[in-house]
Structure 1
Amino acid sequence: MATWISTRTGQFAYFDRQLGHPGWTGKQVLDFAGNVGNILLDPNCRIEPENYWSIDVSRDAICEGRRRHPAGHFLFYDRYNFEYNPAGTPGLPIPDPGVRFDFVVGWSILTHIGKAETLELTARLADLMSTGSRAALTFLDPWWTPPPGWVRDNESPGMSNLSWRLEARRETKPEMDVPALLARARDTELTWVTLVNDDELILDPDDDGLSQDKPQRAYITFCTPEYMQRLFPAARIMPPVPPERHHCLVADQAGLRRS
């Protein structure tokens, strides 16, 4: 049975807006962690399939993406990821497709890896970008709360990103003490926070120390916009656009390399 096949849509509209409605025609686009290429399903998508590349750690998604979009390019990236590819190789470099990209987009990449890995992978993505190119990578602010009418009904309007994720975990673990976890988070000057499995909340780690002996079920990270700006001082940090909860890191090559 296929695993980790995404059903999410709406990515193109989001990235098009965050990047200021650029010209996509004739541009090489890397959808990092692009899964099966759902970004191409948007009827207004202006990315040409022959110029589209998805690199993802889900072998099943890559195989299915090739079937659905035969004109596109899908590369399996057999790198270890706690939630999505626990049998992969830790630290494996991003495969070089021999193409330099005008746009690099990444939906929810930075929400499933730690801080140290974020800094490593963004620098490696910069190596795949052409002169004058831009990247747009989403992330979640733990305390951002959507205003009324912003998000989809199934995404808990009125709850912050961290509260929503904690409450969702409580559905499968009723004994989970969400108020206590939120209080602990509020008592910390949060910059980066990782939620592992059901209720293991790791505050402000440089590297969260996950190991192969932990049960690999769920892993999500949050970063405040202020801290993301400190990590990438030359980048632009864009606020969410409806109906999404994600902020966006927008940067050129130098901005991703942080030097």
Structure 2
Amino acid sequence: MTTITIHSFKGGTGKSLIAVGLAHSYSKDGERVLLIDGDYGAPCLDSFFPPKEKKKPFPDFLKGKAKLKEVVSETVFRDLFVSYAPAPNFGEEILRADVATHGRYLKKLLEGISIAKGDMGFDKIVIDNSNGVTLPAINHLSSSNLSVIVLRPVRYGAESTYSLIDTIYKKLRYVDSGSTRRDFIVWNQVPTNEDSSFDPRVEEYLNYWIQKFKDSEIMHAATIPYISAVVTAMITDIAQDLPVLVNLIQPYIEEVKSKIAE
């Protein structure tokens, strides 16, 4: 089973939509997918998948207050299941927890992944991670064997992300000398010219950072242009428009899946 964490170091990158799109696409392929909302500061999966009934949030499993199956909900999409985060004011509790507590949460997270694979029969877990470098975010990255870092083409975003490679990603990769961990970057919301081409200056900027990340063993998976229809759909009823919304980025989701499968 593959556990994929979708991460970004800044908000507003479109990380959650890519997590949803990836999970939705895998489920359409016939894989049984669990999508976890790990963004405790700004949870949003209930907007994409309005819950049919009140369910315990995922942190209740981490705290030992619920079994994994009690925090997992069906969606209207076949083979796609979701585990919600608590409302932000309740999510702050897990964000404020100390290192020792998060150590216990990590053990529970790994236990949950094992249960999801064995007892519940999931083929893929996709985690929509918290932004930045929080202890919950590091736990989610540590428990996954693959991550996708979502970036917008702004200088501070690329520079701050790259500066944290040695701090986090290389350590995650080499904690286990036999690690098969892989990490990718996805450029999102890249501006284009009227003919949908990239400005040469933008392309040069992207290629420069793609090579820098590649040198650190973080491979480029896809470049998603700014799509106005996506923005329009995001400010209307997300749940109602989800198939249409995901379809707008589907070619790029397929690129990401192809890189993951290599």
The two structures share one fold, judged by TM-score above 0.5: no
Which one has a larger percent helix, Structure 1 or Structure 2? 2
Task: Tell which has more relative contact order, 1 or 2 (C-alpha 8 A, sep 6+).
Answer: 2
TM-score after normalising by structure 2: 0.38
